[in-house]
Chains A and B, each alone.
Chain A
């Protein structure tokens, strides 16, 4: 065995180093987990919707008990739409066209029926829908209809049906598995689900299909629009809020919600990471105190080693290797534990949001490495400094 180590490990206190080890492991794990979790969950809130263009708002009239009882309408008049279109912030205004006929739908996955119900359609002009025209195309007479479903349907299926009936979970890439049959007055159409939207709470079909079916199956008059979709130049514009408030309009403000959620998420993560960092810093102090105490107790040995020709770096090395080893072990164990925790929560996230980019552990690896490097460098420097103070008889 190395004689210098045999000499210098005297007074190494196992409880002190264990204390440091677990405190540091705990702190490191919290910091890494906080950061990794934040990076993993963030896309859920900020991920764009693939089907609607970004800078749009969906506007409807406020529905209250009063309006329901009095039977007053919540539809938009032509004047109101014209007025809204003339505003400076409105780039483009259109309305949702609703189907004025009865639709029954049957949805099945892999041949197993999961939903059979009367549903409703809506459509918006094609230029509000951000998918390639090839997919969103409907030609008159075709029995094949492209459809965009609300994402909640997917979640409902994945968590409800798939779990309880041990059916396969589906992600957006596997929409082909969905078998969607539509029945309109005895005519059967085949719905081709091309995707899911988290920003639209409606079943969307192409405008041309809607117009054609309305003219063909609708019995009464075409209903007036009760929801508008508006593209704006700047969604954060104050003027928009003021205008809408004045007229008692409501905005389905999912974007804002996402921002709020992201803000709170960030705050919580910062708080957690802060706690982790404080634990790390405290554990770092434990280590430094232990090392200082160790050096202090071994001062005469260290001094003798220096006097018989050992260099300060050679004398510092055993302690530096000790801290390096401890820090490295902490880092590796923290990474390993994090790997399993992440595997657990990513499973849940992926089930909830099948299209989410699963990402990598890179953020945690990098932060861990940075933290490890910082702590180790400071350790090495502090130990060398302490040994030099013995060289200079300052202890």
Chain B
């Protein structure tokens, strides 16, 4: 390395030191701008009803053809996320063809569970043999007509009508035929 290059490097290093020193000379002043309070949280999916703890809509024995039970339940959505609600039943129903179940959607402002008060039907969710009621969310009838989404505080009333079907077959009812115990579930899943 020639003397000239040595000198040049020395100058450059000195310059850098000076630069750092110069930068430090302004360290007493500062200014910031900030954006605080950021957070990220999951939405909620919550659904409830007015049956006071999973109480049955019907428990009736010794029915004759045409006998029926009519009960109503109001389901309220309280989640923050838009959801799809579907209705399904537990498996294990027996003699399912012996009974017809009709589930209507509607509005209701009076009547304590399971009374129907002023229930007014707006659409029919299901009207067929009890034994054919879907047992899965995927296959279940929609909570709202045409699968409309549920928003916070949406309420839908449901009227359940279960009816003993006729059976004129001689000696077909010499022993009692029961549906067995079964549970209905309204399941909400966010969209």
Specify whether A and B are partners.
no
Q: Which residues of B come within 8 Å of A, CB atoms?
A: none
Q: Which residues of A come within 8 Å of B, CB atoms?
A: none
